[in-house]
Structure 1
């Protein structure tokens, strides 16, 4: 099974650390990052999809994706 997550946050070093942590945990980048301006917060936001292959586990909608 392929597990998909979309990570998002303010465009700063903490977002880069979030992505780096996911990569260190075995997740892979999926597609290009996205950027958008949050007019309410007056800040740039970014997002990145990540995936991880999880063999021999059925999908459980009650399970947190990070727990796969």
Structure 2
């Protein structure tokens, strides 16, 4: 199965660690990162899509993507 996640958060080291953790679990960057301003919180927000192929498993809507 092919899995897709969109990671997002404030533009800080925690976001970078979130993406780094996913990469170290075998996820791969998909597309370009996004960057936008949240006017309500007055902070910059980041986003990055990641994908992963998992052999021998079938997709089910109830799976917890972060377990992979």
TM-score range, shorter chain: over 0.9
Partner of 2:55: 55
TM-score of the aligned structures, taking structure 1 as reference length: 0.95
CA distance in structure 1 between the aligned counterparts of 2:50 and 2:9, rounded to whole angstroms? 14
* Structure 1 residue runs without a partner (length 5+): none
CA drift of 1:67 comes to 2.1
Number of equivalenced pairs: 68
Partner of 2:3: 3
Report 1:28-43 matches (<5 A). 28-43=28-43
**Moved beyond 6 Å, runs of 4+:** none
3-state secondary structure, aligned to 1:61: coil
CA RMSD of aligned residues (A): 0.7
TM-score of the aligned structures, taking structure 2 as reference length: 0.95
Q: Report the more deviating stretch, 34-43 or 55-64.
A: 55-64
